[in-house]
Structure 1
Amino acid sequence: MSEHEHVLDWLQSWYAAQCDGDWEHGWGLRIETLDNPGWLVKIDLEKTDLADQEYPRQQIDRSEHDWVHAWTAGQTFHLACGPRNLTEALALFRVWASARD
């Protein structure tokens, strides 16, 4: 089993843990597509235990369609990645967030 296999299950649990009757009404997470092609993920950190944590910009550029960029800005964790890198990108968030539990 690879480190990426259950990242979606983990993300669902992380999201559910943030839902307190208030947080989910003003914050959340969004997964969108990019036209270059790829994915864009924004995860709101405001009102979470991660709100004041920083993730310095990381860029992994292997090829035109095989890349991952991750960073925090404005209490949001940002991920942008190639069309087949979404699991890898979400795993970066999981590793970073889990290290702060």
Structure 2
Amino acid sequence: MSDSDSVLSWLQGWYTEQCDGDWEHEWGVKIATLDNPGWTIRIDLEGTSVEECEYPKQTITRGPNDWIFARVVDHQFDGACGPGNLTELLTMFRSWADEH
């Protein structure tokens, strides 16, 4: 199993754990593309075990297509990254959520 398969399987499990008949109707996980190019993710934390946890804003810049930005704002994990960094960004969320 590759790292991307592993983190995607983990995210699917995390999402399923949040689904309680109510949470999934108002909250969720969104993954979309950016036009610069890259990815954006928004993960709602409201009603989860990490909704009150601090997340230090992170900015990583290695090159024009190799970058990550992540933060928690208004009970949402917001992240954006270069076109090849989605697995790394999701892994950052996973590590933080697993810690808390």
Q: TM-score, normalised by structure 2?
A: 0.95
Q: Is residue 13 from structure 1 mapped to residue 13 from structure 2 by the alignment? A: yes
CA distance in 2, matches of 1:92, 1:82: 14
Q: Give the length in aligned residue pairs.
A: 100
Residue 71 of structure 1 corresponds to 71
C-alpha RMSD over aligned residues: 1.3
- Unmatched 5+ residue regions in structure 2? none
Residue 58 of structure 2 corresponds to 58
Q: TM-score, normalised by structure 1?
A: 0.94
SS at match of 1:61: strand
Offset at 1:46? 0.3
CA distance in 2, matches of 1:43, 1:80: 12
Identity fraction in percent: 55
CA offsets, 1:34-91, max 9 Å, x none?
0000000000000111111121110110000000111000000011000010000000
